[in-house]
Amino acid sequence: MATQNPPHDAAPVPTVPGPIPLASAPTAFTPPPDACDAHCHIFGPAARYPFSPGRSYTPPDSGIEDFERLQERLGLSRAVFVQASCHGTDNTAMVDAIKRGRGRYAGVAMIDESFSDADLEDLHEVGVRGTRFNFVAHLGGAPDLDTFWRLVNRVAELNWHIVLHFDAKDLPTHADLLAAMPVPYVIDHMARPPADEGVEQEPFQQLLALMARDERCWVKISCAERLTAGKVAPYDDVIPFARALIDAAPDRVLWGTDWPHPNMAIMPDEGHLLDLLVRYAPDEQVRNRILVDNPTTLYDFS
């Protein structure tokens, strides 16, 4: 199993910006009890949780204390921490953050073949319920597929799901991979379609078809700030994408902030991202399904 590097005193110099200091409080609605941010990250602090030597970017510290201040500001109470590539397969920062939640937090780990069965069972005991694979070019591209399948089959024994991070243009080329998945799989960030190409673009139409026909397929309606052509709020051009996915399968849609927004040049206001959910899902019952019921299905918060 990948082990944590020893702590050190010299803080690495960030190569990407951090989140805004204080998010707006939501104004469009009040989140229901047990509302969940189902896609967020914990970065450092690097003095305690060093970043991976092979990382493609260095974020500023954005630790659990910072995240919990954001949760309080937004009125959310649950979260799913997704291991990001800057920490590699050393999941220690994420695991410690999950423990702090005492059942309110869950996790999606990054693993490799150095993880023993006992290591995976330890992650499961903490609250990890999935593993993530990056297929995105700027984060290293597709994994070795033989290794991918060996790991997928191992975590299937724990009833984990698989989180997949694709560039939109690559989604159609992985149709056979998705068809062969033995467990539920979650597509990050609506499959990252460029909003200016419209909902008719082929990768997004394939995603809609998957949502309609494959009950294993889930999607996160996250990262409007990455998808919009305008780069800043109000993200109007992203709304048709989220609405189409919700219409296709409202019981398999998750929402998240993507805090602290790695590799973003212009940082969003998380309060605006949460308010945007009212425009995605005007119906309160559907919104509550996305924020509470759906994440509870994949993550057995206790």
Q: Which are the catalytic amino acids?
A: 258
CA distance 83 to 61: 14
Helix%, strand%, coil% for the chain, nearest 5 = 40, 15, 45
**Among the listed residues 65, 74, 131, 11, the one whose alpha carbon sits nearest the alpha carbon of residue 255:** 74
CA distance 120 to 110: 11
Alpha-carbon Rg for the chain in angstroms: 18
What is the helix (H) or strand (E) element at residue 295, kind and residue range? helix 294-298
Q: Are 289 and 251 in contact (CB under 8 A)?
A: yes
CA distance 161 to 185: 5
Count of beta carbons in the 10 Å neighbourhood of residue 301 = 18
